[in-house]
Amino acid sequence: MFSAKSSGRRTIAARLTAIAVGVSAAALAIPAAAQASPVTVWPNGPVIEVPDLPGLQVPTPPTKPQQQQPKPSTPQQAGVPAMPNVRTSTGWIALAQDSNHTIYWWKDGNFVKSMPISMGSDAHPTPNGTYHTMEKHRSMYMDSSTYGVPIDSPEGYRTFVEYAVRMNNGGIFIHAAPWSVESQGVTNVSHGCINVSTDNGRWVYENIGTGSAIVVKGTVGGGTWKTPRTP
């Protein structure tokens, strides 16, 4: 026969065994998410929770290919001719192009602006060549008698002008000519000067200093005018 003490010991041992089994079962029942690694998010994909298990290789998210910037299909200065390669003491260079009656301006090699012009008519063409600006006048009278044409003759004139910048000693200026705005950019109607609008004449007067180069190209004037070189 078993004694009461033996029976009690077996009961206590059984209880301890049950408690140990219960603890092990509880440990195995803990969700894997409790031991999961930080959430991994793939671009344009689902959220994936990767368990922190030994030996598990976490795939590297695919990288997007670097997008290249598209190249411009047209030049940034479409329609602008090449800057003339001439000397200038101010950094300013201009090209007065007769083919489209336009003058283009560059500063230190960078294109700045263009403006419509009207140069000398076929009867009084503006000579082709390179000019360098000389003096300038806020306002003045232009008188044909200064180059031998009496003001009372059919070809004579005495005209008040504003924003006049002298290009040579032969009476050629670039100046405001509001009376020829409709012809500017279209045809040549002046006596040899470069006509521009009042606003454009003001811009030239305020920005273009002595020694700036102005190249006249494509007129029927022929020849190559060159102003005397200055020191």
Q: What is the DSSP letter of 91?
A: S
Is 94 in a helix, a strand, or coil? strand
Q: How far apart are CA 172 and CA 117, in angstroms?
A: 14
Selecting among 101, 132, 175, 191, the annotated active-site residue is: 175
Does residue 193 carry a catalytic annotation? yes
Selecting among 101, 132, 191, 193, the annotated active-site residue is: 193
Sign of CA dihedral 192, 199, 77, 89: positive
Q: How far apart are CA 172 and CA 167, in angstroms?
A: 6
Question: 179 near 166, Cβ under 8 Å?
Answer: no
Give the type of residue at 200.
Answer: N
Return all residues near 185 (Cβ < 8 A) that are at least 6 apart: 100, 101, 102, 116, 117, 118
Question: 149 near 155, Cβ under 8 Å?
Answer: yes
Report the catalytic residues.
Answer: 175, 193
